[in-house]
Amino acid sequence: MSKLQPARGTRDIYGEDARRMAAVVDCFKATATQYGFEEIQTPIFEFTEVFKRPLGEASDIVSKEMYSFEDRGGEEVTLRPEFTAGICRAFISNGMQQSLPQRLMAWGPVFRYERPQKGRYRQFHQIDAEILGADSPETDVDLIALAWRMMKQLGIADDTVLHLNSLGDAESRQQYRVALVEYLNQHKDNLSEDSQRRLETNPLRILDSKNEGDREIIKDAPSVEDHMTEEAAAFIASVQNGLTALGIPYVMDDKLVRGLDYYNHTVFEFITTALGAQGTVLAGGRFDGLVSQLGGAPTPGVGFAGGIERLAMLMKAAPAVARSVVLLPMGEAATLKAFPIGEELRDAGFDVVADRSGNLKKRLNRANKNNARVAIILGDNELEQGVAQVKDLDSGEQTDVALDMLKTVLAPIMSGDAE
């Protein structure tokens, strides 16, 4: 190997990309906390059955994309391809059903073996929010409101459109499935190979197809709305009313589905065209059947996941690097004295970087290049007088300041209140 590179579909994250992604996570954590969510961190890998059982053997994730392997103990384990199944497993394992509802938030890397594409890698990152133990449509509104508020805080709400649909209850879904299969069978020979396979295993997923021929056929497919029970229709109407009351814009999209049987009622996606081709940056829905499918007591649930990379890419600008105080000790005695000075300033809340190499001109050039706000120059002469030279790197003004007055003098400069 002539040149070390990250494995295909992975990348090193640093600099501006790291700041953007951290801003997304920080905004998500702060916003979700406002809605009563608490952090949960589940293992990066689980027993394969945790994902295989709910996702289904025939799903693309299980059949093509999961990173599964046998560990040294002979156990089949899988790097998590998504958060929801692992969080529901933790919900069951830790007896959380004794205190409902549970509002849980998580974030971190997820893994899928797929063709790398813009904003999507084989190791990528998601934020995730789940509410377990609440079955009202108003809960779904709360969750969508959380996502909307977060995107407004990030300044990207105007670049997305909320698509909303209902899968109905179990009776609605079954009636719709029968009607959809009947319609698609009439066009079976013209469907893509993938859609012909899904017709036997997961027909609702055909509505997600990106194949142009499939999309022409899908345009005239029956709508789930025409097969909705009264109860299911009332549920989605309540969600719509809640979104309208909050002033959250949305479009109804009867082709928006989830192929797995444990999904019901509300499904939604925030979709953007700002990254090129139309793409989903955050998606969610109600999954009242998942916890029981994993072996727990029947428990309603609703949640969403958002791609951190894609949300970060939508941000207009990366967060600025915090401007620091740079400490420039010149000489051995000053270098030793600079250690406690730096710690005292950090104790006072300042970001302090010590630069000890090169002549003064080179160090000041580096400080300006790194957008430092203030330089503190400390040499033998200054030590004898009990002062340091404080240089305002914006104005160029330089003054002698008593060492015990550094915090007082720096405070207004670093807060932007200096005259």
Whether 130 has a binding-site annotation, put simply, is yes
- Whether residue 419 has pLDDT greater than 60: no
Together in a domain, 123 and 257? yes
Per-residue tokens: 129: 């929010």
The CA distance from 53 to 62, in Å, is 9
How many domains are contained in the chain?
2
Together in a domain, 285 and 362? no
Choose one of 314, 342, 362: the last residue of a domain: 314
pTM: 0.89
Whether 113 has a binding-site annotation, put simply, is no
Q: What is the pLDDT of residues 261-274, one digit of tens each?
A: 788 999 999 999 88
Whether 186 has a binding-site annotation, put simply, is no
Q: Tell me, what amino acid is at 48?
A: T
Task: Give 114's pLDDT tier (boundaries 50, 70, 90).
Answer: confident
Average pLDDT of the segment spanning 196-210: 82
Tell me, yes or no, whether 176 lies in a domain.
no
Tokens 């015990």 belong to 404
Choose one of 314, 337, 358: the last residue of a domain: 314
Tell me, yes or no, whether 209 lies in a domain.
no
Whether 121 has a binding-site annotation, put simply, is no
**Cis-peptide, bond into residue 101, ω within 30° of zero:** yes
Together in a domain, 307 and 335? no
Together in a domain, 140 and 246? yes
Whether 193 has a binding-site annotation, put simply, is no
Tell me, yes or no, whether 310 lies in a domain.
yes
Q: How far apart are the first and last CA of the chain?
A: 58
Together in a domain, 264 and 410? no
Whether 84 has a binding-site annotation, put simply, is yes
Together in a domain, 64 and 120? yes
Q: What is the pLDDT of residues 46-74, one digit of tens each?
A: 999 999 887 765 566 766 789 999 999 99
Together in a domain, 286 and 404? no
The CA distance from 140 to 253, in Å, is 17
Task: Give 174's pLDDT tier (boundaries 50, 70, 90).
Answer: confident
Together in a domain, 310 and 329? no
Together in a domain, 268 and 407? no
pLDDT of residue 205: 80
Together in a domain, 250 and 140? yes
- Whether residue 119 has pLDDT greater than 70: no
Average pLDDT of the segment spanning 337-346: 97
**What are the DSSP calls for 261-272, one per residue?**
TT-EEEEEEEEE
- Whether residue 158 has pLDDT greater than 90: yes
Choose one of 262, 282, 314: the last residue of a domain: 314
Tell me, yes or no, whether 219 lies in a domain.
no
Together in a domain, 370 and 394? yes
Q: What is the pLDDT of residues 207-224, one digit of tens each?
A: 878 788 888 998 888 888
**Sheet with 251-252, side-by-side order of all strands:** 38-39, 102-111, 123-132, 301-307, 279-286, 264-272, 161-166, 251-252
The residues pairing with 279 across neighbouring beta strands, listed in sequence order, are 272
Tell me, yes or no, whether 369 lies in a domain.
yes
Tell me, yes or no, whether 182 lies in a domain.
no
Q: What is the mean pLDDT of the chain?
A: 92
Whether 83 has a binding-site annotation, put simply, is yes
Return the closest-CA partner of residue 87 out of 375, 294, 255, 243. 294
Angle ∠(83,9,316) on CA atoms, nearest 5: 75
Are 294 and 55 in contact, with CB atoms under 8 Å apart?
no
Whether 197 has a binding-site annotation, put simply, is no
**What are the DSSP calls for 358-380, one per residue?**
S-HHHHHHHHHHTT-SEEEEE-H
- Whether residue 121 has pLDDT greater than 80: yes
Domain that holds residue 359: 325-414
The CA distance from 108 to 89, in Å, is 17
Whether 14 has a binding-site annotation, put simply, is no
Return the closest-CA partner of residue 137 out of 252, 237, 278, 30. 237
CATH number at residue 341: 3.40.50.800
CATH number at residue 106: 3.30.930.10
